[in-house]
Amino acid sequence: MKNILVTGGAGFIGSNFVHYLLAKYPDYRIVAYDKLTYAGRLENLKPAEGDPRFAFVRGDIADRAAVDAAIRQHQIDTLVNFAAETHVDRSILSSEPFVTNNVAGVTTLLEAAREFKLERFHHISTDEVYGQIPEPKRSREGDPFETRSPYSASKAAAEHFVFAYFVTYGVPVTITRGSNNIGPYHYPEKAVPLFTTNAIDNEPLPVYGDGRQMRDYQYVGDHCEGIDAVLHRGQLGEAYNIATGVETYNIDMARQILDILGKPHSLIKFVPDRAGHDRRYALDVSKAKALGWESRHTFSQALEQTVRWYVDNEWWWRPIKSGEFRAYYEKQYGARLAAAK
Ligand code: NAD
Ligand code: TYD
């Protein structure tokens, strides 16, 4: 493992993973490959600029010729795939890009991995493949997929192809299923960065439904360490859950953000719920822990660090929130906020 192609490397987790690898492995060469959709941002890769061990290639994972060229040019031996459409709410507005990028795109990458005989194809998946989990159950890696949103359905479909390529063609695959990440460079359509940046501007925090849905919010750096552990010590053909193992209610997450910023709880607005909203995700992480990995930040530590980053890095998120994002925000929240309680 020496020359690593990080697809989706200009997105939130992908860019954090690029910085993580460059810092941890002095002898690795890292190529970020990204289509630069609305969520992909070159600013996320700024800290790697000028590093001779780093290169960026603009390309689509569904474009086989472009993928092949990147693998050939950079003598890639390992591929870690983060590239995807990632927002559940956008998948409800239109599922088509989720099929194209998250399913067809992944099969294209798998074909390339097969032809070039890559040493490893690591795929980034999500706790959402298990569907909503009633308390006190926790999902284990062998549990069935019971997806309910177009986003999670596309991620489950991708995993089926990854396993199929392992069984059918012997492509050396591993998979990680991460819970909700928080941290730097998180596009402000997702709950934590949306609530944080809205709170900074004294704008309402639109909490869906009763706010009693639960998520396991983990620090993105901990997720990167988990991916690293599976990449280096995981068993081929296996999936691993990566999370803190502790869930938080959305309403408590919103209140804690306001408390960190010293803003009033009256900014919280309960808005009409997301269609098919999964109530709870919860992962059993013992399989990843057996590799020697452990989540290091509690939810409160992760949230505090995340909120501080947004306070200190307005240069990063202000241009996003005044661009394409405004039209999306109006479509997603205009009527909802008008009906807010
Ligand atoms: P993101 O939306 O911030 O980034 C996705 C990146 O993929 C963007 O840079 C985008 O330009 C790129 N991309 C999309 N389609 C592409 C294509 N066809 N070709 C090349 N690049 C393309 O997403 P994220 O939050 O960083 O998520 C990364 C991965 O982790 C995804 O696979 C997601 O399903 C998974 N995941 C995310 C979370 C989370 O909490 N964010 C949790 C678990 C798993
Ligand atoms: P999100 O960040 O979109 O991640 P996911 O849906 O993949 O878990 O949402 C996190 C939680 O916050 C989820 O339960 C939905 C909820 N949520 C809101 O209440 N309001 C919002 O405006 C958003 C975007 C999410």
Nearest to 123 by CA among 89, 94, 166, 90: 166
Q: What pLDDT digit, counting tens, does each position of 181-203 carry?
A: 999 999 999 999 999 999 999 99
Distances (CA, A) of 309 to 182, 183, 317: 11, 8, 11
Instruction: Write the residue with the smallest CA distance to atom 6 of ligand 2.
Output: 88
Ligand closest to CA 58: 1
Q: What pLDDT digit, counting tens, does each position of 289-301 carry?
A: 999 999 999 999 9
Percent of the chain with pLDDT over 70: 100
* Alpha-carbon 220 to chain mean position: 9
| Ligand 2 atom closest to residue 333's alpha carbon, by position in its atom list | 22
| Ligand 2 atom closest to residue 213's alpha carbon, by position in its atom list | 14
3-state secondary structure 7-59: ECCCCHHHHHHHHHHHHHCCCCEEEEEECCCCCCCHHHHHHHCCCCCEEEEEC
Neighbours of 53 (CB within 10 A): 15
Ligand closest to CA 242: 1
How far apart, in whole angstroms, are the C-alpha atoms of residue 113 and residue 52?
A: 25
How far apart, in whole angstroms, are the C-alpha atoms of residue 128 and residue 82?
A: 15
CATH for 3-182+217-242 is: 3.40.50.720
Following CA atoms 310, 256, 88, 130 in sequence, which dihedral angle do they give, to the nearest 10 degrees?
Answer: 130
Domain with CATH 3.90.25.10 in the chain: 191-214+247-276+299-338
**249 Cα to the center of ligand 1, angstroms:** 24
What residues are in contact with ligand 2 under a 6 Å CB criterion? 88-89, 180, 190-191, 194, 206-208, 213, 215, 250, 274
**271 Cα to the center of ligand 2, angstroms:** 12
Q: Name the fold adopted by 191-214+247-276+299-338.
A: UDP-galactose 4-epimerase; domain 1 (3.90.25)
Domain with CATH 3.40.50.720 in the chain: 3-182+217-242
How far apart, in whole angstroms, are the C-alpha atoms of residue 121 and residue 178?
A: 17
Binned average pLDDT, 10 residues per bin, the chain of 341 residues = 96 99 98 98 98 98 98 98 98 98 98 98 98 98 98 98 98 99 98 99 98 98 99 98 98 99 98 98 98 98 98 98 93 96 78
Instruction: Write the residue with the smallest CA distance to atom 10 of ligand 2.
Output: 191
Q: What pLDDT digit, counting tens, does each position of 138-165 carry?
A: 999 999 999 999 999 999 999 999 999 9
Residues 6+ apart with CB under 8 A from 279: 132, 134, 212, 213, 214
Please tell me the pTM assigned to this model: 0.99
Instruction: Write the residue with the smallest CA distance to atom 7 of ligand 2.
Output: 88
State the catalytic residues.
Answer: 127-128, 151
The reported pLDDT for the residue numbered 218 is: 99
Parallel, antiparallel or unpaired: strands 54-58 and 78-81: unpaired
The reported pLDDT for the residue numbered 323 is: 83
What residues are in contact with ligand 1 under a 6 Å CB criterion? 7-8, 10-14, 34-37, 39-40, 60-62, 82-86, 101, 105, 124, 126, 155, 178, 180-181, 187
